[in-house]
């Protein structure tokens, strides 16, 4: 005998009396395909998200373990390329003595406000490649930064003026 369609079977937003397949609590469902009560559905979503994230972290860690040397090499190449871009963007040599060997060159805050800027940026470690990436995103801003060799940068920090600049001022 054919079944007659009731208002509950026609797609009408009705209410279906159901029992949760997990906890066997009675609940009212909007659609006949719903099998879980709201509490069990919420719990299922949470555990699904948690286990998926955990599996992703575990697989990433195992990938790093297997490819540690390649990852380190790629990171060294990226840092060297970024420093070369930085040095080229700010003149390619020490603004004080003219040193151009990239291993000796560093970034200097012209106004001596590097610590203040790091505090203002806050939170992350703003040194080396992290800060270089930040400057690259800003389009290598001019005026506040210059390239100095490590000796000139340390001397400027100690006595506020590099000995090369002092010698130039005395001889002229």
Encode the chain (172 residues) as per-residue pLDDT tens digits. Answer: 444 444 444 445 557 788 887 787 887 877 777 887 878 777 777 666 666 665 666 677 777 788 888 889 999 999 999 999 999 999 999 999 999 999 999 999 998 888 888 888 876 677 889 889 999 999 999 989 999 999 999 998 888 888 888 777 777 6
Domain boundary among 42, 66, 90: 66
Q: Are residues 56 and 133 in the same domain?
A: no
Residue 41 backbone phi and psi in degrees, to 5: -65, -45
Do 113 and 58 contact (CB within 8 A), yes or no?
no
Q: Treating both helix axes as pointing N-terminal to C-terminal, what angle do 38-66 and 68-89 enclose, rounded to 10 degrees?
A: 80
Distance CA 50, CA 92 (A): 49
Count how many domains the chain has: 2
pTM: 0.60
Q: Considering the domain boundaries, does residue 3 fall inside one?
A: no
Q: Are residues 125 and 159 in the same domain?
A: yes
Q: How many CB atoms lie within 10 A of CB 159?
A: 10
Q: What is the DSSP letter of 3?
A: P
Q: Treating both helix axes as pointing N-terminal to C-terminal, what angle do 68-89 and 129-137 enclose, rounded to 10 degrees?
A: 50
Taking the CA atoms of residue 153, residue 154, residue 156 and residue 162 in that order, the dihedral angle to the nearest 10 degrees is -80
Q: Are residues 118 and 164 in the same domain?
A: yes
Distance CA 4, CA 19 (A): 24
Q: Are residues 23 and 100 in the same domain?
A: no
Q: Considering the domain boundaries, does residue 115 fall inside one?
A: yes
Q: Are residues 43 and 123 in the same domain?
A: no
Rounded to a whole number of angstroms, the distance between the first and last alpha carbons of the chain is 113
Q: Are residues 93 and 152 in the same domain?
A: yes
**Domain range spanning residue 31?**
16-66
Q: Are residues 84 and 116 in the same domain?
A: yes
Q: Considering the domain boundaries, does residue 11 fall inside one?
A: no
Q: Considering the domain boundaries, does residue 113 fall inside one?
A: yes
- Longest Cα–Cα distance of the chain, Å, equals 113
Domain boundary among 66, 87, 105: 66
Distance CA 141, CA 138 (A): 6
């Amino acid at each position: 005998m054919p079944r007659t369609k009731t208002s509950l079977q026609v797609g009408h937003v009705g209410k279906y009396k159901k029992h949760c397949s997990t906890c066997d609590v009675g609940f009212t469902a909007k659609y006949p395909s719903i099998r879980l009560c709201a509490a069990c559905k919420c719990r299922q979503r949470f555990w699904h998200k948690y286990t998926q994230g955990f599996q992703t972290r575990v697989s990433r860690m195992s990938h790093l373990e297997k490819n540690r040397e390649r990852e380190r090499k790629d990171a060294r190449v990226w840092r060297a390329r970024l420093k070369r871009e930085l040095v080229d963007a700010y003149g390619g040599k020490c603004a004080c003595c003219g040193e151009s060997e990239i291993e000796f060159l560093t970034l200097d805050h012209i106004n001596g406000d590097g610590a203040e800027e790091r505090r203002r940026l806050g939170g992350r470690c703003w040194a080396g490649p992290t800060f270089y990436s930040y400057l690259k995103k800003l389009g290598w801003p001019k005026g506040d930064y210059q390239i100095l060799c490590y000796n000139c940068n340390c001397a400027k920090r100690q006595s506020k003026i590099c000995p090369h600049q002092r010698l130039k001022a005395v001889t002229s």
